[in-house]
Structure 1
Amino acid sequence: MDDAEHTFFVCAKWNPQRIEVEQCVGEALTPDNILHHMLQDEKKWNIVSVMIQKIIETKEEDRITVTYKIAHILGKRGKPFSNIVEAVSMLDPRNVDKYKQLPLSRRTITDRQHELTQNVIKLYKLHKIIQNEDVYFSIASVKSTDKTDSAQVLYFIRALTKDFQCYEELLALGTLTGRTRGADIFENFKELCNKSQLNVSNLVSACTDGAP
């Protein structure tokens, strides 16, 4: 059961956060001793509070992400709202029951599908704009590693048209396996440019997060 006690004291997903706090307080956290440690001094209070806040925020982000995924599945397959259990089963067939607490009303799914549609339209317009010869742009890339040890690179674009209309958006997500040197990211970016039909000669500047 994914209740508060399981989340903060048992769930393996939060082991890194829990271990960090336990190293500070000197013992394993339990429902019986957590308040005792928090009341000992301000430092321990803050450390435990930050852990709890991070876990709550991450869980809420995960809940929201799942609602978008379910809305996407229903829309892509042309399924009515009544098929929501089927969509959940496709995401996580072994844990269907845990999604029953999610805000999955008809209105929520409709709103999520509308937001996804607007985002697709926005990206389509952006791609049409940046393919023009008179549009200059800059790129910022941020790299992180997912749980499969694959490097994920986010490419953000800022484009300026000849009439000084400015557009800022996430352009694409690139995946790197193996080495993640600056040269590897550059090759990945060139593939992105070819796929998006970007005119590299109009690239004004590029900013990275420090890849060698």
Structure 2
Amino acid sequence: MTDAPSAPALRRTLLVGGVLLIVSAVLTFAQSSLLFAQTSMLFSPVSGVLFWAAVLAFSAAVLVFAFGIGRDGSVVRRRPLAVTAAVIVAAWPLIDRILSWIMPYESAPDFYRAWAYLTWAVTLAASIVFVVQIARAGVLRGRERWMPLWGLALVVTPQVLTQLLYVAVSPAPSTDDGEWIALVWGLGQLLSFAVPVALGILAIIIANRPASVGEPVQVYPPAA
């Protein structure tokens, strides 16, 4: 049997983390809608505030789930590998921003093209490690512990397909090719909003279900 985490602490973690996930998705949607409605607002203060509020809310959610609210509230039992992965996911946007201040994009466009691929690879790898560790930690039970992994797969798959389609149709995509790319990209945008909202709602539901948290989780069969 695993050690039972503190039920009140875990409920607080799931509640706060779930709310932060929903807030991050709503703010991201609001910023995207603003840019779509008025492209001249691309560099407006409002757009910047919405973007960073969404990033900070998502990063805070990841850290809340990793460290927990209270000593025993972590969904990964504060295992070093999981916590390290969570910190990378949460901190990378800040690292990216600091780098852009030190070295503006206009001064090194080739570097930033490579940096974009590095960013995607590092954050994806760290995200995979984190969601797998959530499942392996055994704090969440049954199918619920795999939901973050499935959610990550739903978000990432359209992104990968979009890149593959770009490569496949380059350098002269047809109108039909462009429509397929736009369709897959649009699906990715929809899932990027829907998945955090769904996971946030699920976390809140689990937090408010008395029998779902704070109980021992059997990992090995009982001895005969």
Category of TM-score, reference length = shorter chain = under 0.3
Larger Rg: 1
**Which structure shows the bigger proportion of residues in strand conformation?**
1
Taking structure 1 as the reference length, the TM-score comes to 0.24
Structure with greater contact order relative to length (CA < 8 Å, sep ≥ 6)? 2
**Which structure shows the bigger proportion of residues in helix conformation?**
2
